[in-house]
């Protein structure tokens, strides 16, 4: 505790912790937000990591940092932050950064609306979808989170009692709604919303699906926690995503925020959110470079 208090006494480290409590950020992000050099930020992060106040996860060439402060330290940090004059400006800059990330993803998917099935999407394979569908046959109310134009939603709607497809792109929602109407899928509803705060009541769905969506989330752990909250006790989550890779061009080509996830990393997210009976498997590998692999995870919310 004494070492933690000593670290909190430095305004730079305190500003970094305050930002990381809200969002997972890279060194480059922190440079942009704080207007400081890489060496200064890296030194501060190294000190904070050594005392267990932050943790990092590898995403391609970048390390992404987030807060891991114990609750009592986090309370002290929040109180101390009110005395740092730059905190207000930091919060404004962070909101702008998050908005830029979401706008970039929204623009990309707006441009794709209506072209799915004709354009290549990394990790989206019928083999992978089939593996997921085998796990969820006969479910009641389903939430397809980050649904895109809703190819999977339409398949699920043929078996489920009701499907709620949620996407951040207004054009995707408009296109999917039109397609559902054309196909007579009265039990399929599209809603505009964010993965990390989906427009769903707590304990309202039997199944939550994240199909090639989680690597677009600004904060994947928050998205997984939101899925947990939306599920009824005994409900199930199915995640189809890319296995961790190093194809950096995916950030520009496909608006990816994260370069996939490791099996252990995804299992950890699910466990931390409260899920149990967690299963993971690599269910497909694309034959063409960069050989994207599809990761499947299934877990249950305790009854």
Per-residue pLDDT tens over the stretch 4-39: 999 999 999 999 999 999 999 999 999 989 989 999
Q: Phi first, then psi: give them for residue 46, nearest 5 degrees.
A: -60, -40
User: Does residue 161 carry a pLDDT above 70?
Assistant: yes
- Of the candidates 134, 164, 157, the one whose C-alpha atom is nearest the C-alpha of residue 279 is 134
The better pLDDT of the pair 248, 128 is held by 248
Range with the poorest average pLDDT among 52-66, 183-197, 236-250? 52-66
**What pLDDT is recorded for position 127?**
59
Give the pairing of strands 231-242 and 293-300: antiparallel
The CATH code belonging to domain 2-85 is 1.10.10.10
Range with the poorest average pLDDT among 89-103, 111-125, 250-264? 111-125
Longest dimension (CA), the chain: 65
> What does pLDDT average to over the chain?
89
Per-residue pLDDT tens over the stretch 77-114: 999 999 999 999 899 889 888 877 777 676 676 666 66
Q: Where in the chain is the domain with CATH 1.10.10.10?
A: 2-85
Across the beta sheet with 141-145, the strand order is: 188-192, 162-167, 141-145, 205-211, 231-242, 293-300, 276-285
**What pLDDT is recorded for position 80?**
94
Task: Please say whether the structural domain 126-300 has been given the CATH code 3.40.50.150.
Answer: yes
Q: Where in the chain is the domain with CATH 3.40.50.150?
A: 126-300
Per-residue pLDDT tens over the stretch 49-59: 999 999 998 87
**Exposed e or buried b per residue across 116-130, where buried means at least 16 C-beta atoms within 10 angstroms of its C-beta:** beeeeebbbbeebbe
- Its pTM stands at 0.67
**What pLDDT is recorded for position 125?**
65
Contact between 76 and 8 under an 8 Å Cβ cutoff? The reply is yes
**What pLDDT is recorded for position 126?**
60
Q: Using the structure block, give the residue that is written with the tokens 């986090």.
A: 74
């Amino acid at each position: 505790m004494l070492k933690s208090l000593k670290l909190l006494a430095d305004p730079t480290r305190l500003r970094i912790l305050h930002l990381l409590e809200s969002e997972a950020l890279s060194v480059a992000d922190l440079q942009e937000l704080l207007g400081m050099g890489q060496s200064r930020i890296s030194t501060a992060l190294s000190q904070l990591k050594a005392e267990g106040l932050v943790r990092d996860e590898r995403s391609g060439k970048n390390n992404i940092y987030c807060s891991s402060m114990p609750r009592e330290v986090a309370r002290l940090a929040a109180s101390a932050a009110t005395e740092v004059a730059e905190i207000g400006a930091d919060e404004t800059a962070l909101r702008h950064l998050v908005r830029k990330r979401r706008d970039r993803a929204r623009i990309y998917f707006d441009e794709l609306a209506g072209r799915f099935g004709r354009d290549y999407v990394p990790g989206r394979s019928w083999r992978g979808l089939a593996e997921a569908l085998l796990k969820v046959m006969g479910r009641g109310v389903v939430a397809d989170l980050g649904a895109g134009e809703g190819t999977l939603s339409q398949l699920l709607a043929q078996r489920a009692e009701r499907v709620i497809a949620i996407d951040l792109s207004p054009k995707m929602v408009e296109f999917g709604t039109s397609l559902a109407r054309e196909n007579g899928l009265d039990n399929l509803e599209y809603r505009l919303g964010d993965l990390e705060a989906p427009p769903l009541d707590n304990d309202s769905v039997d199944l939550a699906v994240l199909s090639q969506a989680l690597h677009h989330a600004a904060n994947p752990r928050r998205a997984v926690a939101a899925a947990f909250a939306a599920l009824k006790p005994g409900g199930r989550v199915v995640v189809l995503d890319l296995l961790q890779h190093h194809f950096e061009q995916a950030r520009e080509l496909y608006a990816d925020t994260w370069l996939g996830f490791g099996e252990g990393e995804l299992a950890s997210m699910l466990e931390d959110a409260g899920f149990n009976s967690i299963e993971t498997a690599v269910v497909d590998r694309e034959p063409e470079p960069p050989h994207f692999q599809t990761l499947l995870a299934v877990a249950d919310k305790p009854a």
